[in-house]
Amino acid sequence: MSELAERAAKADANDPLAAKRDLFDLDDGVIYLDGNSLGALPRHVPARVADVLTRQWGRMRIRGWTEEGWWDAPQRIGDRIAPLVGAAPGHVVVGDSTSVNIFRAVVSALRMTPGRGEILVDATTFPTDGYVAASAARLTGATIRPVEPKNVPDEVGDDTAVVLLNHVDYRSGRLHDMGALTAAAHAAGARVIWDLSHSAGALPVDLLQHNVDFAVGCTYKYLNGGPGAPAFFAVRPDLLPVLDQPLGGWCSHREPFAMDPEYVAAEGIAKARAGTPEIVSLLTLDASLDVWDDVDLAQLRAKSLALTEFFVDCARELAPAARSVTPAGEDRGSQVSLSCVDAEKVMAELIARGVVGDHRPPDLLRFGFTPLYTRFADALRAAEILGEILA
């Protein structure tokens, strides 16, 4: 047995999260390393969704809103996500998409900073964040300026109202310093919005500790909520009473069934809702979150760091033509991005041979390591196959 194989066997044997893998519907012979785009299906979810469709909708119909708790699902499920991102209970709501929630957060932050008109946007951001921020700027008369996250302390100024950042760079996998960057923005009088789409469910996040104003994120990646699962929106506790979000709809009204022609915002996190919630996908997510009930996030992070480091070691030895562009140690999220020639063709061949990652132009192979179900043996085998293809 090779030294790498011995390391993999020992790490898998000592993995405190190993039993979690059996909770997921995974194919024999396929190494799934794309959980940073779409998480795997927990085995128990189809039966729960079938109940939603056949009994709750099929038999109970309109009674589901009250007797099955559909109406409060956005807040109830938000409370299940809150401990995964270090938010206070009652300050996370689930609904709509990440893009919609970014718009909601940007405009809310602008309204909280009168007299300021600049939005700083992560220059390395996932494109939708920039698109939405630019749209919000056009609607509000604000200006928008891209900055490298590391330069925020030097770039934030007296006119900066909002700083919009990604916690993990979706291309390189770099984990940004939430505490330091939030503090720098606050020192200049700006509000901060963090997009947690590539960190929630992959590593511990502590919104309360870092005094984060707003956070958003999708739930279909590391949280395994299913394709198109609704996003979450978190608000700092002391900001919730003054939140004036731009998409107030009937479900965020203080008395939604009064059908009042005048809008009066609800109390609490319900004021961050908008229209009728997407019940089937919400309850799919609710079922998926069961896999997190007893997960120690410190163990999750330890395994993530060990897995990604091991994969980099394997790739360095077995596939030297691919170069890692992902930072080492604590500066890394839960993915590894490798640069190589003909990356798109290489990824297509990897997928054909049962190693599922994804390609980001022009030259990146991107591999997401989901600690709940990825094994060290998977990381080794993926590097072996990559090496065979590149050779």
What is the tens place of the pLDDT at every residue in 21-53? Answer: 999 999 989 999 999 999 999 999 999 999 999
- Taking 70 as the pLDDT cut, the residues of the chain under it are 1
Model confidence, pTM: 0.97
CB 281 within 8 A of CB 226: yes
Residue 231's pLDDT is what? 98
Cα distances (angstroms) measured from residue 370 to each of 11, 24, 50, 249, 257: 15, 12, 26, 36, 42
**Candidate list 24, 32, 214, 220, residue with the active-site label:** 220
Phi-psi group of 354: left, alpha or beta (phi > 0 → left; psi -120 to 50 → alpha; rest → beta) = left
Q: Give catalytic status of residue 220 as yes or no.
A: yes
Q: Give catalytic status of residue 366 as yes or no.
A: yes
**Candidate list 221, 271, 303, 332, residue with the active-site label:** 221
CA dist., res. 362 & res. 139, Å (int): 33
**Candidate list 366, 373, 376, 378, residue with the active-site label:** 366
In b/e form, how buried is each residue of 26-62, taking b as 16+ CB within 10 angstroms?
Answer: beeeebbbbbbbbbbbbeebeeebeebeeebbeeeee
∠ Cα 118 121 122 (to 5°): 155
Domains of the chain: 3-43+295-390 (3.90.1150.10), 69-292 (3.40.640.10)
Class of residue 218 by CB neighbours under 10 A (exposed 0-12, middle 13-18, buried 19+): buried
Residue of 189, 171, 162, 79 lying closest to 124 (CA atoms): 171
Residue 28's pLDDT is what? 87
DSSP string, 110-158: HHTSTT--EEEEETT--HHHHHHHHHHHHHHT-EEEEE-GGGHHHH--T
**Candidate list 34, 79, 96, 195, residue with the active-site label:** 195
Residue located via tokens 């056949």: 54
Q: Give catalytic status of residue 221 as yes or no.
A: yes
Residue 367's pLDDT is what? 98
Which alpha helices (H) appear in the chain, and where do they start and end?
A: 3-13, 45-51, 64-67, 73-85, 98-111, 127-140, 152-155, 178-187, 279-288, 297-318, 343-352, 376-390
Q: Give catalytic status of residue 145 as yes or no.
A: no
CA dist., res. 190 & res. 155, Å (int): 12
CB 231 within 8 A of CB 98: yes
∠ Cα 158 160 162 (to 5°): 150
- SS3 (DSSP) at 86: coil
Contacts of 290 (CB under 8 A, 6+ apart): 42, 44
Residue located via tokens 């599922």: 356
Q: Give catalytic status of residue 214 as yes or no.
A: no
Q: For residue 118, what are the β-bridge partners?
A: 143, 160
Residue 216's pLDDT is what? 98
**Candidate list 126, 311, 367, 376, residue with the active-site label:** 126
What is the tens place of the pLDDT at every residue in 148-199? Answer: 999 999 999 999 999 999 999 999 999 999 999 999 999 999 999 999 999 9
- SS3 (DSSP) at 218: coil
